[in-house]
Structure 1
Amino acid sequence: MDTVPQSRSGDITLLEKMRRQITNGRYGPGDLIPELTLAEEFGVSRTPIREALKQLQNEGLVEIRPRVGTFVRQPTRREIVELFELKESLEGLAAGLLARRGRVRELETLERNLMDSDRAAAEGDSQAYAELVHEFHWTLVRGADNRKLYETYERLMNQLAYHRIVVNTVARPERLKASDNEHHSVVEAIKSKDALDAEFTMRNHVRASSQAALRPIDEPQPARPGSIDDDAQENRRVEGGELRAC
């Protein structure tokens, strides 16, 4: 289910492994990145770990504080809004392109995904459902059969750490059920081969997800173990970059 790109040799690079640990939620906003622990885990010295962290800082995922440490960056509310606006456009386009392709493999994968999602929703299994959300959205984007769209989407997801965002939001039963229903509507629109309707329906779904993610953003968030608060949480940065929408 992971969509981490691989090197030409087929091996996942150190940078990609470290990026995935952030985007998949092992380290959340405000958490200290333990260089020594990662070096031991990956069997490398601290030098390549630090080089990878510099790249992750360029991508906006971490913040390096000299003589203090490296922390997972807490995005501002504005950044989250802007990223979701791009996500809405990209996934809307992807849904429309997939609708034009007809009965392709990705559509069949989406239909199977819906059956599994229905089961997870009925059981209230938010963790399983979050994984299925991850599969649903990436399958849809792959189904557009547009390499540039896929590459752009991949860069966006690295910034948004979307899988982290999903987990908290679908922990709320009402959002889990609403999300599942919205996924059904998206697939039905795609199956109808109406590209405009598919795009419209997908955009509505992403907009609803964005609203669900942003709703608790202004609520005070408890400090996470092993994290250091920003000075007075300047700009009200949220632990909610993780607020997870689906």
Structure 2
Amino acid sequence: MTPPSVDLGSSNGAGSSMQGRVIAEMRTRIIGGQMEPGASLSEIALAEEFGVSRTPVREALKQLQTEGLVEIRPRVGTFVTIPTRREITELFEMKELLEGAAARLLAQRGRVPEIDRLEENLRQADAAVDRDDRDRYAELVQEFHDLIIVGADNGKLEAHYRMLMNQLAYPRLVTTSLSQPGRALQSDREHHTVLELIVAKDGDSAERVMREHVRASRRAVFAGLQSR
């Protein structure tokens, strides 16, 4: 049974909370691939599914358009964004800059808790690669990069990175890159090298190798996209 529709005004605290829930759930679905690029999004259908009026859905779609996840075409409809090759390239270039800077900053901090978590991440990643568990390794890849960003301890950098990851729909691209033969093993080795340099407090080399790693990931993504 479809939940009753709830009229949510912008001044209503519960309404604001519901709108936030709609945004968060739709963002998760788009980034995770449950809503495919190019998919048409119906305000009416979404309102029925979430048990709300169309107003919070409409506002959620506007927010997701600001984040680059959906495209609203007046008098046509709303669609999950299909990033162009140029857009993916530009986003990866920004990812390279941000993650390179994060690796440098983390190396400068010394033995912080994120280092221990990164070492555990790599232990689990090694095991996932050994048993050819790409789904688990994909999760650990995302965690590795996230720990580098958090470990940099720079709020502005992290905020820009979060927005970028949403626009990239990063989990989908990780899966695409890992579809390439041998990429999981190579990626794992690259992660080990990055962490070794961070632990050694070699910020210059950590930044350089992290940027090389991101470029290698981008090449694997495009190779995977072309093979489809």
Correspondences of 1:191-206 after superposition (within 5 Å): 191-206=199-214
Question: Are residues 1:72 and 2:75 paired?
Answer: no
State the structure with bigger RCO (CA 8 A, min sep 6), 1 or 2: 1
User: Which deviations, in whole Å up to 9, do the C-alpha atoms of 1:39-93 show, x marking residues without a partner?
Assistant: 3443322221121112212322112234543221111111111110110010000
Q: How many Å separate the matches in 1 of 2:35 and 2:67?
A: 16
Partner of 1:4: none
SS of 2:124's partner is helix
Partner of 2:219: 211
Correspondences of 1:183-198 after superposition (within 5 Å): 183-198=191-206
2:106/2:148 contact within 8 Å kept: yes
As a proportion of its length, which structure holds more helix? 2
Q: How many Å separate the matches in 1 of 2:160 and 2:84?
A: 21
- The amino acid that maps onto 2:54 is R
Instruction: Give the paired residue count.
Output: 211
Give the % identical residues. Answer: 56
Partner of 1:6: none
Give the drift of 1:119: 1.1
Question: Are residues 1:138 and 2:159 paired?
Answer: no
Which runs of no fewer than 5 residues in structure 1 stay unpaired?
A: 1-8, 222-246
Q: How many Å separate the matches in 1 of 2:61 and 2:20?
A: 16
Q: How many Å separate the matches in 2 of 1:126 and 1:13?
A: 30
Give the drift of 1:25: 1.5
SS of 2:182's partner is helix
Out of 161, 169, 179, the residue aligned to residue 187 of structure 2 is 179
Partner of 1:107: 115
2:176/2:224 contact within 8 Å kept: no
- The amino acid that maps onto 2:31 is T
2:177/2:224 contact within 8 Å kept: no
Normalising by structure 2, report the TM-score: 0.85
Q: How many Å separate the matches in 2 of 1:173 and 1:34?
A: 38
Out of 35, 38, 46, the residue aligned to residue 27 of structure 1 is 35
Out of 50, 60, 77, the residue aligned to residue 52 of structure 1 is 60
Normalising by structure 1, report the TM-score: 0.79
Deviates more, 1:22-31 or 1:143-152: 22-31
Which runs of no fewer than 5 residues in structure 2 stay unpaired?
A: 1-16
Q: How many Å separate the matches in 2 of 1:94 and 1:201?
A: 12
Give the CA RMSD over aligned residues.
Answer: 1.9
Q: How many Å separate the matches in 2 of 1:88 and 1:55?
A: 26
Give the drift of 1:216: 4.1
Partner of 2:90: 82
Out of 92, 100, 107, the residue aligned to residue 100 of structure 2 is 92
Change beyond 3 A, Cα 1:135–1:37? farther
